[in-house]
């Protein structure tokens, strides 16, 4: 659609919904505003506007406001044009084939729909809505409450039940937007009605427009995002600030350099339940020794466990090797590049699959870890238990609706970083540094310290153990743990269940065929696993000729070999340090 008699002016003021004062050619004119919405973010003093001179010289207001500049965009605000645009667009053969009838303003029930169409035996109602409200590339409707809009949507739903085809067609009166979503802040009833109608078979479409100062034409489809109002509805406005904040404040971490899928994978598995600073040297060492998936797939178990020594949760690195072997067999050693294929690998769950997909491949999937669960719970004020898998799934789905398609990696990492250094779990979060503090429901409600809600797990089992450091002057004894169960396949100092006294330790040594020369108490240590706690008592026992008299089949090594070859878990760290200091 083209306009004639267009002039440029400068917006000054809008005293009411119907008129505005605009400077045109150095003179202030009263201009009719062809849009009864608020348009508050568009009609700012000093904004460049485009007005059309009326063809009736006797009309009280000589000018109609057609469009306004907003940044690099021109936004058409003529509320009379969307219906005409859609009608012309349909007549050009779009959406339906073989249209035999198009009738504007068609009455059905208690509503008058914008268009009635007949095509290929179908009877179709179309309700057209012009959209001018845009924030950070997201467009929304309405910009003011509209009971009439709710009524029309509900009538369309009824029409579908009676055999009609029905559409709500949102004409986005600008170009270059990310997606359309109903304005749940201004009028949630409309958003709920639209979602209900969509579930009942009403088609919801949005198209943007090519807009110039004297023309507007329908251009391309725009993604439509409809969501149920819930405790875990994440505001779409947080996306842009989080991406910008992350790009400015992100920490320099080794795995953020050259983030290919393998490097991201290694870092994410290592970072599970381990501090960032602690992971750095492990990450560098692991990649130096096993730089590719193929290297990981063929690594010897002892080498693999030695590289992982101190990180704990050794099944994770075993599963990594199994996944690497899958990749070698099924993908010829090339890391898969779809979320579904990544998720199918051994030991990879939704978080790790989401992280690899977003960070390495730019796929818009959510990576929801403990930091993200905390941030989202506080942002939304949710009291749902984050330990429930169903809640994690809800948060993943809510975030995937708002992930910026051009920055999924930075958005996900921004949320994680926010939880790591700003929205911290203990003590006072740094709300003054948070880029989305204005959207935070927990902050508004004063409930930050109470969120997130996390149900308590089962109490850990306490297990008493006695640890023996058997030495003969040059060598010491270690043994390999069983291939299954806790710390499977790792090496350890000989140990027995129960807390032995000095005398009992001495008697045990003799029982297994060792002849004690001197016994020294090494003190107590504790190690906490996820489900069990070891409370340990240690003894150093100097014996005569370890290898000849031992009945247990221990392995005898020099102390310095521990550091080079034999992976001894951090559970024994207290005793390992004593051995290595000697």
| pLDDT (tens digit per residue) in 225-236 | 887 655 667 888
| Cα dihedral 298→303→309→315 (10° resolution) | 40
Catalytic pick from 154, 155, 165, 268?
268
Name the β-bridge partners of 118: 101, 123
Cα separation of 212 and 328, whole Å?
54
Q: For residue range 178-198, what is the model confidence (pLDDT) as tens digits? A: 889 998 878 889 999 999 999
Place of tokens 């029309």: 152
Is the pLDDT assigned to residue 551 strictly greater than 80? no
pLDDT digits (tens, 9 = 90+) for 64-94: 999 999 999 999 999 999 999 999 999 999 9
Percent of the chain clearing pLDDT 70 (strictly above): 98
Residue 483 CB neighbours (<10 A): 8
Whether pLDDT at 537 is above 90: yes
- Kindly report which listed range (35-49, 87-101, 477-491, 526-540) carries the lowest average pLDDT score: 477-491
Nearest by Cα to 346 from 295, 293, 385, 387: 293
In degrees and rounded to multiples of 5, residue 58 shows phi and psi of -90, -5
Per-residue confidence (pLDDT) for residue 153, from 0 to 100 = 95
88 catalytically annotated: no
Assess whether pLDDT exceeds 90 at residue 269. yes
Cβ neighbours, 10 Å, residue 365: 23
* Cα–Cα distance, 12 to 19 (Å, whole number): 11
Determine the pLDDT at residue 549. 57
Most confident of 293-297, 302-306, 459-463: 293-297
Residue 516's SS3 state is strand
Report pLDDT for 342: 97
Q: Return the minimum-mean-pLDDT range out of 165-174, 272-281, 354-363.
A: 272-281
| pLDDT level of residue 431 (50, 70, 90 thresholds) | very high
Which pLDDT belongs to residue 552? 72
Output b/e per residue, 301-339; b: 16+ Cβ within 10 A. eeebbbbbbbbbbbeebbbbbebbbbbbeeeeeebbeeb
Q: What is the mean pLDDT of residues 141-162?
A: 92
DSSP class of 111: E
- pLDDT averaged over every residue in the chain: 91
Q: What is the pLDDT of residue 231?
A: 60
Q: What is the pLDDT of residues 400-425, one digit of tens each?
A: 988 998 999 999 999 999 999 999 98
In the chain, what is the straight-line distance between the N-terminal and C-terminal CA atoms, in Å? 88
Lowest mean pLDDT of 120-124, 143-147, 335-339, 494-498, name the range: 143-147
pLDDT of the residue at 432: 92
CA distance 30 to 20: 6
């Amino acid at each position: 659609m083209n306009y004639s008699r267009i002039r440029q002016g400068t917006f000054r003021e809008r005293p009411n919904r119907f008129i505005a004062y605009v400077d045109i050619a150095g003179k202030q004119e009263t201009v009719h505003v062809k849009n009864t919405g608020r348009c508050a973010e568009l009609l700012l003093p000093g904004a460049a506007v485009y007005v059309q001179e009326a063809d009736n010289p006797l009309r009280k207001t000589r000018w109609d406001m057609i469009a306004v500049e907003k940044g690099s965009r021109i936004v058409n605000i003529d509320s009379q044009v969307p219906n005409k645009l859609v009608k012309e667009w349909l007549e050009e053969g779009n959406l339906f084939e073989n249209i035999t009838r198009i009738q504007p303003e068609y009455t059905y029930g208690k509503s008058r729909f914008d268009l009635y169409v007949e095509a290929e035996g179908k009877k179709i109602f179309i309700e057209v809505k012009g959209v001018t409200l845009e924030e950070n590339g997201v467009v929304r409707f309405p910009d003011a409450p509209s009971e009439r809009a709710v009524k029309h949507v509900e009538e369309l739903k009824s029409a579908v039940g009676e055999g009609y085809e029905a559409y709500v067609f949102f004409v986005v009166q600008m170009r270059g937007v990310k997606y359309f979503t109903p304005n749940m802040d201004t009028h949630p009833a409309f958003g709920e009605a639209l979602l209900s109608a969509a579930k009942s078979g009403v088609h919801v479409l949005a198209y943007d427009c090519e807009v110039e100062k004297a023309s507007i034409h329908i251009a391309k489809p725009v993604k439509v995002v409809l969501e149920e109002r819930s405790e875990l509805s994440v505001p779409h406005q947080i996306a842009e600030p989080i991406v910008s904040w992350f790009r400015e404040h992100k920490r320099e971490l080794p795995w953020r350099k050259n983030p290919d899928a393998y490097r991201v994978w290694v870092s994410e598995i290592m970072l599970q339940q381990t501090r960032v600073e602690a992971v750095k040297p492990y990450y560098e060492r692991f990649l130096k020794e096993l730089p590719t998936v193929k290297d990981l797939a063929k690594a010897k178990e002892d080498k693999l466990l030695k590289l992982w020594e101190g990180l704990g949760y050794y099944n994770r690195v075993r599963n990594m090797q199994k996944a690497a072997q899958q990749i070698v067999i099924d993908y010829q050693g090339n890391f898969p590049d779809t979320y579904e294929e990544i998720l199918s690998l051994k030991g990879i769950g939704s978080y790790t699959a989401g992280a690899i997909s977003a960070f390495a491949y730019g796929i818009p999937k959510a990576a929801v870890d403990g930091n993200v669960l905390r941030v989202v719970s506080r942002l939304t004020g949710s009291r749902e238990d984050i330990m429930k898998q169903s809640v994690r799934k809800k948060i993943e789905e809510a975030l995937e609706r708002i992930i910026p398609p051009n920055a999924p990696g930075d958005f996900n990492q921004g949320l994680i970083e926010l939880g790591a250094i700003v929205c911290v779990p203990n003590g006072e979060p740094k709300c003054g540094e948070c880029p989305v503090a204005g959207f935070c429901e927990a902050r508004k409600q004063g409930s930050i310290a109470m969120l997130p809600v996390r149900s308590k797990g089962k109490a850990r089992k306490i297990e008493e153990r006695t640890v023996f450091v058997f030495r003969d002057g040059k060598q010491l004894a270690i043994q390999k743990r069983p291939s299954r169960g806790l710390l499977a396949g790792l090496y350890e100092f000989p140990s027995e269940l129960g807390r032995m006294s000095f005398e009992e330790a001495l008697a045990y040594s003799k029982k297994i065929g060792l002849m004690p020369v001197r016994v020294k108490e090494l003190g107590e240590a504790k190690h906490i696993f996820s489900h069990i706690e070891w409370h340990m008592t240690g003894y150093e026992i100097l014996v005569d000729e370890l290898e000849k008299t031992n009945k247990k089949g221990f392995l005898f090594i020099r102390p310095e070999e521990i550091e080079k070859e034999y992976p001894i878990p951090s559970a024994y760290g207290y005793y390992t340090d004593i051995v290595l200091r000697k």
